[in-house]
Structure 1
Amino acid sequence: MLSRIASSLFWIGRYIERSDGTARILDVHLQLLLEDPWIDEDTACRSLLGVMGSDAPDGVLAREDVLRILAVDRTAPASIVYSLSAARENARRAREIVSTEMWECLNTTAARMPRKVTSDKVHEFFNWVRDRTALAVGIMDSGASRDDAWHFFTLGRSLERADMTARLLATRSLTEASGPSWTTILRSCGAYEAYLRTYRGVPSARNAAEFVLHDRLFPRSILFSVTRAAESLRDLEPRLERAGVSDRALRLLGQIQSELEFRPVAEVLDDLPAHMSSIQEATSAATEAIRRRYFPENVAPSWMGDAR
C-alpha cells in the first residue's frame, strides 16, 4: 500500500474518533456549566480548553466561547468541524481505496456542518455528530475487508480513542468540588449501561475508573483501545525477531498495556491527571513512531498546545 493511502486511512480513523470524543466531552461539560450555578464559568472554560489542547483567548470566557472554539471554528485544530472536514479531505486523497458509502458519508457530513449552533440546539448538535461518526465507523467495520486498509483505519481510531478517553478522565479533576460525577463520566463515553451490567451497582470512583481504564471487554476502555492498536500493528507487520520488539510504536503501546494491567487502580486515582497525561504522551509518541515507519513524508497533524 502506498504510504499516502496508509496515512489518509490512519488519519480518517483518528479524525472520526476525535470528532466523536470531542462531542461527548463537550456535551457533558457544557451542560454541567449550564446546570451548576456554583461553578466559576471562566475558570472551568479555560481548564476545558486546556485539556482539549486549545489556547484560551483573552477576556472572560463563557460556554458559548468554548462551543464556538471546540465545535464550529473551522480554523481550530481541536474543533469538531475541523476534524470532520479533515476526515473528508483525507478520504478524497484516498478515493481509490475508500468505499463509495464512506465517501458519501464523510462528504455529506462535512457539507452539513453548521457554522453556528444556538444554545437550544447544543445537545441535538452533539447527538448528530455522534450519529454521523457512528455511521462512518459502521460502514468501515461492516463493509471493509480486514486488510491493510482496515488495519490502518482501526490503528488510528484506536489510538485516538485511548487519547480521548484519557482526556475525558482528566476532566474529572478540573474542578474537584463540583466536577462531573462518575455517573456523568460513564454516560459521556457510552459506558453507563455496560458498567451497570458488569458491576450491578451505583458507580463508585474505584469501580468506574477500573471499568473505563482497565476493562478488557469494553471497547471504549483505554486498555481495550491500546490492545486493539497493538494487534493492528502486529497484523500490519508480523514479528520476525526471536527476542524483543524492534518496532518503537509497539514497544510504547506494550508499556501502556503493562501499566494498565499491573498498576492498581487505587494508585491511578491518587493522581489521575498525571496518569492520564502520561497516556496522552505515550499515544502521541506512538503516533510519531508510526508516521516515521509507514508514512515519513507526511507531517502529523497536531492539536494546539499538544506534542502531536
Structure 2
Amino acid sequence: MLSRIAESLFWIGRYIERADGTARILDVHLERLNQLPLAEQRSASQELLAVMGVRSESDDFDLADLLHHMAYDPTNAASIAGSLGAARENARRARETVSSALWETLNTTWYGLSQHRKDVVGTFRFCHWTLERTAMVRGAADTTMSKDESWNFLMLGRSLEKADMTARMLSTADTQASGLSWVNMLRCAGAYESFLRTQRTAFGEKYAAEFLLLDRLFPRSIVYSLSEAEDSLRMLDPSHRRVGFHSDARRIVGQARSFLEFHQSEDLLQELPEHMERVQKACSQASDAISRKYFSRAEDNAWVGEIS
C-alpha cells in the first residue's frame, strides 16, 4: 500500500472520531455554560477549550467564541467542522481505496455543515447531527471495506483518537467544580445503559470512572480502545521477536494499556487527572511513531543533485 493512502486512511479514522468526541463533549457542557453568569461563563469556556488542547488568546473569550472554535471553524482541525472537512479531504486523496458508500457519506456530511444555525440551540442540534453522521460513516466503513491493510490503518486511527477523546471527556468530569453529574458523563459517552447493565446495584462516581477507563468490553472505554489499537498494530506488523518489538507505537500503546489494566488504585478519582494526562501523551507519542514508521517518506523522496 502507498504510504500516502495509508496516511489518509489513518487520518480519516482520527478525524471522524475527533468530530464525534468533540460533539459529545460540547453537547454535555453546553447547557451548563449557557446558564452561568458572564464572568464564570468566560472562565469555564477557556477551561473547556484548554482541555481540547487550545489556549485562548483573549481575556474576552466567551461562549460564542467557544462555539466557533469547537464547532464551526473550518480552518481548525480540532473543531467539528474542521475535522469533518479534513476527513472528507483525506477520503478524496484516497478515493481509489475508500468505498463509494464511505466517500458519499463523507461528502454528503461535508455539504451539510453549512445548514445549521450557529447559536446555542442550533449547536445542540448540530452536535446531535454530527453524532448521527459519524455513526453513518463508521457503518459505511464497517460494511463496505475489506478487512485488509486499509481497514487496519483506518481502525488504528479510530482507536487512538477514541482513547484520546475519552481521556479528554473524563478530564472535564470534575463534578464539584463543574456541577456535572457522572450520569451526564456516562450519557455523553453513550455508556449509560451499558453501565447500568454491568454494575446493576453499584452506583457512584468511582464505578462510572472505572467503567469508562477500564472496562474491557465497552467500545468507548480507554482500555478497550488501546487494546483495539494494539490489535491493528499487530495485524500491520505481525513479525515476532524473542525480545522487544520492532514497532515503537506498539510498545507505547501496550505500556499505556497494561499500566491501566494492572494498576491497583485506592482512590481512582484522585488519580484520574494523572491517568488522563498519561493516556493523552501515549496517544500522541504513538501517532508520531506510526507516522515515522509508515508515512514519513520526505527524505526518501527528496531530490538529490548530481555531484560534479
| Cα separation, partners in 2 of 1:151 and 1:297, compared to 1, 3 Å | same
- Output one character per residue of 1:179-218: Cα deviation in whole Å (capped at 9) or x when no partner: 3211111010100111011111474111101100000000
Provide the C-alpha distance between the structure 2 equivalents of 1:271 and 1:240, rounded to a whole number of angstroms. 35
Does the CA contact (< 8 Å) of 1:213 and 1:222 recur in 2?
yes
- Which residue pairs with 1:5 in the alignment? 5
Deviation at 1:116, TM superposition (A): 4.9
**Contact 1:8–1:90 (Cα < 8 Å) also in 2:** yes
Partner residue in 2 for 1:164? 165
How is 1:254-293 mapped onto 2 (pairs within 5 angstroms)? 254-293=254-293
* Structure-2 change in CA distance of 1:33 and 1:203 (3 Å): farther
User: Is 1:68–1:116's contact at 8 Å kept on the other side of the alignment?
Assistant: no
> Structure 1 residues 104, 255: CA separation in 2 closer, same or farther (over 3 Å shift)?
same
1:3/1:294 contact within 8 Å kept: yes
3-state DSSP class of the match of 2:178?
Answer: coil
**Which residue does the alignment assign to 1:155?**
156
For residue 141 of structure 1, what is the aligned residue in structure 2? 142
The residue number in structure 1 matching 2:221 is 221
Does the alignment pair 1:294 with 2:298? no
- Worse overlay, 110-119 or 193-202: 110-119
Say if 1:16 and 1:157, in contact at 8 Å, map to a contact too.
yes
Q: Which amino acid is the alignment partner of residue 226 of structure 1? A: L
Using the size of structure 2 for normalisation, the TM-score is 0.92
Matches within 5 A, 1:137-216: 137-173=138-174, 176-201=176-201, 203-216=203-216
Partner of 1:303: none
Distance 2:222 2:248 in 1: 19
Cα deviation digits, residues 107-137 of structure 1 (max 9, x gap) = 1111110275222222211110000000000
Mapped partners of 2:73, 2:4: distance in 1: 27
Q: Percent identical across equivalent pairs? A: 51
From the superposition, tell whether residues 257 and 29 of structure 1 become closer, same or farther in structure 2 (CA, over 3 Å): same
**8 A contact 2:213–2:223 mirrored in 1:** yes
User: d(CA) in 1 for partners of 2:24 and 2:179?
Assistant: 16
| Aligned mates of 2:75, 2:38 — CA distance in 1 | 32
Q: Mean alpha-carbon deviation: is it higher for 252-261 or for 175-184?
A: 175-184
More off after superposition, 80-89 vs 138-147? 138-147
Q: How does 1:23-172 map to 2 (within 5 A)?
A: 23-35=23-35, 40-114=40-114, 116-172=117-173
Gaps of 5+ in 2: 299-308
Aligned equivalent of 1:231: 231
Q: Deviations over 1:16-39 (max 9, x none)?
A: 000000000000111221245699
Deviations, residues 33-70 of structure 1 (Å, cap 9, x unaligned): 12456992111111000000112131323222211111
Aligned residue in 1 for 2:305: none
> Quick check: 103-112 or 220-229, which moved more?
103-112
CA–CA distance in 2 between the matches of 1:35 and 1:247? 48
8 A contact 2:71–2:123 mirrored in 1 = no
CA deviations on 1:53-111 (whole Å, 9 max, x unpaired) are 11213132322221111100112221111100000000000000011111111111111
Partner Cα distance (2:266, 2:212) in 1: 14
1:167-186 Cα distance to aligned partner (Å, 9 max, x none): 0000113x733332111110
Amino acid at match of 2:246: S
Q: Radius of gyration: which is bigger? A: 2
Can you give the 5+ residue segments of structure 1 that lack an aligned partner in the other structure? 299-308
Higher mean C-alpha displacement, 268-277 vs 179-188: 268-277
Q: Which amino acid in structure 2 is aligned with residue 73 of structure 1?
A: D
- Measured against aligned partners, the alpha-carbon deviations of 1:120-167 in whole angstroms (never above 9, x if no partner) come to 222211110000000000011112111001100000000000000000
Matches of 1:275 and 1:260 in 2, distance apart? 8
Q: Letter of the aligned partner of 1:109 in structure 2?
A: T
